[in-house]
Chain A
């Protein structure tokens, strides 16, 4: 169902007032050039200090919390692999109950972080349950497209053709032979108020999506592209470059779904061929021209599908957009006073 979502609490970030206080400290143990920790840091910058984090088991949990040191400057809880959404549900329920009986004053933001394994695979049921129940929290999937923490095993979010340690390319295999599970669309199918994809390369877009997600009344989901130099086979220095390329090639389109209405937040005027993306990573190096052509076809098809969703859910794009653009700055100005 299409519905109007109240975004009046959304405080937009611009390049000039970029928040710089990261709630993940230096001294964390992520690999050199880790795009995942970078993206997670950006999320926390946008969210600010009044935030509680529930973290699924995975790279981000391991690199941020080996006893006796924590990289976390905000309250953080790790319970297990498959339950970050359920833990966040409990935190949210407690926050509501405690606020009602006056034991808590400021309502904190609640963010759950999970990798693609904990989100698309083992924690899928818990995620769906939390969305359906309508808890006010943000779930962020940091998608590095395989189980990197345990040594690059395939997940249901690993893209077609990628070689991993459990979907290795070989004489009889092209590597991963299934298509990447489309989590943002599955999230949107729950009818939650806000869903988006984001990339650390487009940091303003990412942080504003976090701000929007945290402003809605109900669950929100952001699926973030998280480059992994170690798992993908590329130099650490290329993490942002590859993230930009993923968007420029339409491999990872940036969009949001607000109240069921799809909108592309980054329109790629002249898409680069997908081979530019594939060739830059060792995980795709074994693919033939024919296979690359098939991937190009899939990428084009996925974009076409997305554009159809945009068209189908926005019957009057011009009219719908104009008042929004006017209303937002006016409200912000009022708040500053």
Chain B
């Protein structure tokens, strides 16, 4: 029988990895990812999880060991955040180029400097082009279920790509929520043992990671990107199976608020829940407003997103990262290019909010809505909450 427990979300993620029966976990501690890996190492120490926990000396080595272990045929998990993700940067591209289905939780945190342990999306937005599947979760139940789903997506023969599950540091990782735990037998059926296609096998020696001469580099890149593009349908399939197995329904882009609303908020991650409350308040005040929440960031679900925005005249896109020197934040950039050249494209305003852990309460979203409606927001983007003398 599924059990409902009040638990810190990080611990639920660790439980998901335990239920996924990861063979190898290589990780380096960084706030706010620590509770996940502490819990996993405890499971290994207690014999509750029969895995190798490799307590590496850096995140660079965490990802490198993950690559080695995955190439050797193991189911591999790691978790990191901010500076740690940045230190992994070089190897992230290689993990996907080698088609290794590593699963990683990113406890999203602001990148230094100045050093900040608090939450925004600047860490993952720097890694948009690593050719990984990138999911964003909003709550505890989703964190658990999509961590399990991430293994299934990553290991699908049509995909074989690393997958990261983004969850907001502290704002989600450290929340205590009621979470329903599935039975191990149900998980085992949902996620069978990983059977790799190609490994470091002395009986079938292969050369992994050869020199990509100019006559092959482009084709190697194309193979890798096509797998990412093809993964979109697999993500849909797996989310449907999650629905069937665990009961909750997940879409690539979720909507709430009024159908075909004039104004839509666009959010990604846990700020979506705060925004949702504001949307409900605004609707109660008679406003024609709704919300689109992006769950799959890479590959970007273009069709699903356009469908979710059908009828909207205005999008208020909330970014959690600055893209310095560009025209707007990274999510708004994406959405502007999605709509470029389309008939009836909505007006797109961009608010960069919640940077470096800056609080964005419900009332702020209501304020954003009023300013957007009166066209009082900058055409480029607005740094929400900025204290300025100007």
- Contact residues of A between 88 and 146, Cβ < 8 Å to B: 88-98, 100-101, 103-104, 106, 108, 125-126, 128-130, 132-133
- The answer to whether B73 and A94 have CB atoms under 8 Å apart is yes
CB distance from B193 to the nearest CB of A (A): 8
Interface assignment of A292: CB less than 8 Å from any CB of chain B:
no
- The answer to whether A86 and B202 have CB atoms under 8 Å apart is no
Interface assignment of A230: CB less than 8 Å from any CB of chain B:
no
From B50, B65, B216, name the one whose CB has the most chain A CB atoms within 10 angstroms.
Answer: B65
Partner pick for B68 among A87, A98, A106, CB 8 A cutoff? A87
Interface assignment of B378: CB less than 8 Å from any CB of chain A:
no
Known contacts: A80-B91, A87-B64. The answer to whether A133 contacts B205 by CB under 8 A is: no
Known contacts: A66-B210, A94-B68, A94-B74. The answer to whether A52 contacts B200 by CB under 8 A is: yes
- The answer to whether B72 and A82 have CB atoms under 8 Å apart is no
Partner pick for A86 among B61, B72, B213, CB 8 A cutoff? B61
- Chain B residues with CB under 8 Å of A89's CB are 26, 54, 56, 61, 64-65, 68
Partner pick for B24 among A67, A72, A75, A94, CB 8 A cutoff? A94
- The answer to whether A66 and B213 have CB atoms under 8 Å apart is yes
Known contacts: A75-B201, A87-B68, A97-B24. The answer to whether A126 contacts B58 by CB under 8 A is: yes
- The answer to whether A90 and B207 have CB atoms under 8 Å apart is no
- The answer to whether B24 and A82 have CB atoms under 8 Å apart is no
Interface assignment of A68: CB less than 8 Å from any CB of chain B:
yes
Distance between Cα atoms of A126 and B90 in the complex (Å): 15
Interface assignment of A51: CB less than 8 Å from any CB of chain B:
yes
Interface assignment of A153: CB less than 8 Å from any CB of chain B:
no
- Chain A residues with CB under 8 Å of B210's CB are 65-68, 70, 78
Distance between Cα atoms of A126 and B210 in the complex (Å): 21
Known contacts: A52-B200, A94-B68. The answer to whether A79 contacts B61 by CB under 8 A is: no
- The answer to whether A65 and B211 have CB atoms under 8 Å apart is yes
CB nearest to B194 among chain A residues: A103
Interface assignment of A234: CB less than 8 Å from any CB of chain B:
no
Q: Which range contains the number of B residues in contact with the other chain?
A: 35 or more
- The answer to whether A52 and B72 have CB atoms under 8 Å apart is yes
CB nearest to A71 among chain B residues: B207
- The answer to whether B60 and A83 have CB atoms under 8 Å apart is yes
Known contacts: A65-B210, A108-B202. The answer to whether A87 contacts B67 by CB under 8 A is: yes
| Contact string against A for B residues 33-71, beta-carbon threshold 8 Å, 1 for contact and 0 otherwise | 000000000000000001110111110110011111111
- The answer to whether B91 and A75 have CB atoms under 8 Å apart is no
From A78, A87, A92, A95, name the one whose CB has the most chain B CB atoms within 10 angstroms.
Answer: A87
- The answer to whether B69 and A94 have CB atoms under 8 Å apart is yes
Partner pick for A125 among B58, B72, B201, CB 8 A cutoff? B58
- The answer to whether A91 and B69 have CB atoms under 8 Å apart is yes
Interface assignment of B168: CB less than 8 Å from any CB of chain A:
no
Known contacts: A67-B212, A97-B74, A126-B64. The answer to whether A133 contacts B202 by CB under 8 A is: no
Distance between Cα atoms of A51 and B70 in the complex (Å): 17
CB distance from A283 to the nearest CB of B (A): 27
CB distance from A62 to the nearest CB of B (A): 6
Interface assignment of A256: CB less than 8 Å from any CB of chain B:
no
Between A and B, how many residue pairs show CB distances below 8 Å?
Answer: 166
Partner pick for B64 among A70, A86, A133, CB 8 A cutoff? A86
Partner pick for B67 among A68, A75, A79, A125, CB 8 A cutoff? A79
CB distance from B44 to the nearest CB of A (A): 10
Interface assignment of B386: CB less than 8 Å from any CB of chain A:
no
- The answer to whether B207 and A83 have CB atoms under 8 Å apart is no
CB nearest to B75 among chain A residues: A97
Distance between Cα atoms of A54 and B281 in the complex (Å): 58
- Chain A residues with CB under 8 Å of B213's CB are 66-67
Interface assignment of A76: CB less than 8 Å from any CB of chain B:
yes
Interface assignment of A30: CB less than 8 Å from any CB of chain B:
no
Interface assignment of A36: CB less than 8 Å from any CB of chain B:
no
Interface assignment of B208: CB less than 8 Å from any CB of chain A:
yes
- The answer to whether B207 and A72 have CB atoms under 8 Å apart is yes
CB nearest to B51 among chain A residues: A97
Interface assignment of A61: CB less than 8 Å from any CB of chain B:
yes
- Chain B residues with CB under 8 Å of A74's CB are 202, 205
Interface assignment of A49: CB less than 8 Å from any CB of chain B:
yes
CB distance from B184 to the nearest CB of A (A): 16
| Contact string against B for A residues 33-52, beta-carbon threshold 8 Å, 1 for contact and 0 otherwise | 00000000000000001111
Partner pick for A80 among B65, B66, B90, B205, CB 8 A cutoff? B90
Interface assignment of A77: CB less than 8 Å from any CB of chain B:
yes
Interface assignment of B185: CB less than 8 Å from any CB of chain A:
no
CB distance from B174 to the nearest CB of A (A): 28
Give 4 A-B pairs besides A77-B208, A86-B56 with Cβ atoms closer than 8 angstroms. Answer: A79-B67, A79-B209, A90-B26, A91-B72
Taking Cβ atoms with an 8 Å cutoff, the residues of A that contact B are 49-52, 54, 61-62, 65-68, 70, 72-80, 82-83, 85-98, 100-101, 103-104, 106, 108, 125-126, 128-130, 132-133
| Top 6 closest pairs, chain A to chain B, by CB | A90-B68, A129-B57, A90-B65, A94-B72, A86-B64, A86-B61
21 A-B pairs (CB sep. < 8 Å): A66-B211, A67-B211, A70-B210, A73-B205, A74-B205, A79-B64, A86-B56, A86-B61, A87-B67, A89-B68, A90-B24, A90-B70, A90-B71, A93-B54, A94-B74, A97-B51, A108-B202, A126-B60, A126-B61, A129-B57, A129-B58
